[in-house]
Amino acid sequence: MTYSLENARSLLAIALIVLVAWLLSEDKRRFPFLLTLGALAVQAGLVLLLFAIPNSQAVLTGVAAAVDGLAGAADKGAQFVFGFLGGGDQPYLTQAEGASAPFIFGFRVLPLILVISALSALLWHWRILRWITRGFGFLFEKTMNLGGASALAVAANIFMGMVESPIVIRAYLDRLSRAELFLMMVVGLATVAGSTMVAYAVILGPVLTNAAGHVLVASIISAPAGILLARIMIPETHKAGTAYDYAAELRYESSMDAVTRGVQDGVMVAVNVAAFIIVFVAFVWIANNLLALAPPIDGEPVTLQLLFGYVFAPAAWLIGVPWSEAHAAGNILGVKLFLTEFIAFIELGAIPAAEMSERTRMIMTYAICGFANVASVGIMTGGMTVLMPERRAEIMPLAWKALLPGFMATLMTAAVVAALPQHVFAR
């Protein structure tokens, strides 16, 4: 067993994250000690369950094979529509004879979002995803003292989007307490949707071993962290939350209806992803051109990425990244928070293997695997105000308040992973 100061430093990061949440708490006298221990135990336990126990590698290999299969299926559909732009046979030599097809984000990743969205809707209609979600909901309800409605919404956030998951409990939204509403927002920002989860794994696949397994585990174990930080910041005043009888659910009329609506939802997600990436990349270009007028720092031109690196390097170092790589990791954290996690994953995947260690890349995968960014707050408030127009005045301030704990939840998840001995993942 190998254990170092880098592992131990991550424990300090966990304590500091909990401390910050407590300092921002609306009721500092109601600190959930048992929930804190339970959430950390659940996170560490799930990581060990999926990486350390015998035969766990077979599960991860299966997840990776499933992701590869879905990506291949999406490529076939994209190639039928877009031809060689979707990765098919190239009509010309790109660089040298025998060179592989270029990876064009718009024609390779966005179609994958459509396929996963339609498949998720179909699996929900066939009750497969519904029962998996119910299982996680029951677990959260019994182990973390959540009401049935909020527990199911939290579980749905692991596999669905932060706007889609409230639809699962739409009939109960007006009965959620302020603390339950805030908790649902925080967990929504701390996790990612299944439609984008697979896309992240495809982006990181060439540079990170078991990328699909890490992305899946990251979304699952960030949920307990989100629950904990939300409960610290806005404690529940009632002993038990909103009850849920599992009668009011997201429903489809038929398998074809599920596929149709899944494709329609996927189109909205894909268009939003493409639109935000176009806009924010353009904004970064504009900002970097303006910052180029400033004097260089240590001989390097001033850019947003350089500034993000300096600001967030201490946070990256605290969660377990070596200081020699903290600046590059801090840049990724800043991009994730102020731009989008998609751009952060693209930039993480673009860093050559020789310039970032496998351990640091793994830690950063957990640290950025969540929707907590400025753009997502707008998406979340827009979706929730449509579902709950009468609570608009309550939703708007809570959404911005949820951004910080949502971001800290993924940092906490990364710190838990970094605190574990490295040999757990070296299989």
Alpha carbon of residue 264 to chain centroid: 22
**In the structure encoding, which two tokens stand for residue 214, read together?**
């890490």
Does 197 score more than 50 pLDDT?
yes
Q: What is the pLDDT of residue 246?
A: 44
Q: Where are the alpha helices (DSSP H) in 56-193?
A: 56-82, 105-108, 110-125, 128-143, 148-159, 164-168, 178-190
**pLDDT band, very low/low/confident/very high, at 325 (cuts 50, 70, 90):** very high
Mean predicted confidence (pLDDT) in 318-334: 91
pLDDT of 163 reads 66
What is d(CA 121, CA 115) in angstroms, rounded to the nearest whole number? 10
How confident is the model over 29-54, as pLDDT tens digits?
888 888 888 888 888 887 777 666 66
Burial class (CB in 10 A: 0-12, 13-18, 19+), 344: buried
Average pLDDT over residues 186-213: 82
DSSP state of 300: B
For 147-163, the pLDDT digits (tens) are 666 777 777 777 776 76
Any residues with CB less than 8 A from the CB of 82 and at least 6 apart, and which?
107
Residue 170: the pLDDT is 65
354 compared with 336, residue with greater pLDDT: 336
The amino acid that residue 363 corresponds to is I
Closest Cα to residue 284, out of 314, 313, 312, 308? 308
- pLDDT tens-digit readout, 245-262: 444 456 788 899 888 988
pTM summary value: 0.81
Taking the CB of residue 9, how many other CB atoms lie within 10 A of it?
A: 17
Kindly tell me if the per-residue pLDDT of 167 is higher than 70. Answer: no
Count of residues making up the chain: 427
397-422 pLDDT per residue, tens: 898 899 999 999 999 999 988 887 76
- Residue 256 DSSP one-character state: H
Better-scored residue on pLDDT, 371 or 382: 371
Structure confidence at residue 280 (pLDDT) = 79
| pLDDT, the chain, mean | 80
pLDDT for residue 64: 67
Q: Which of 151-155, 189-193, 301-305, 319-323 has the highest mean pLDDT?
A: 319-323
Structure-token pair, residue 195:
């439609």
- Per-residue pLDDT, averaged over 124-142, amounts to 77
Extract long-range pairs of 80-84: CB within 8 Å, 24+ residues apart. Answer: 81/111, 82/107
Average pLDDT over residues 166-176: 70
| Distance separating alpha carbons of residues 297 and 306, to the nearest angstrom | 9
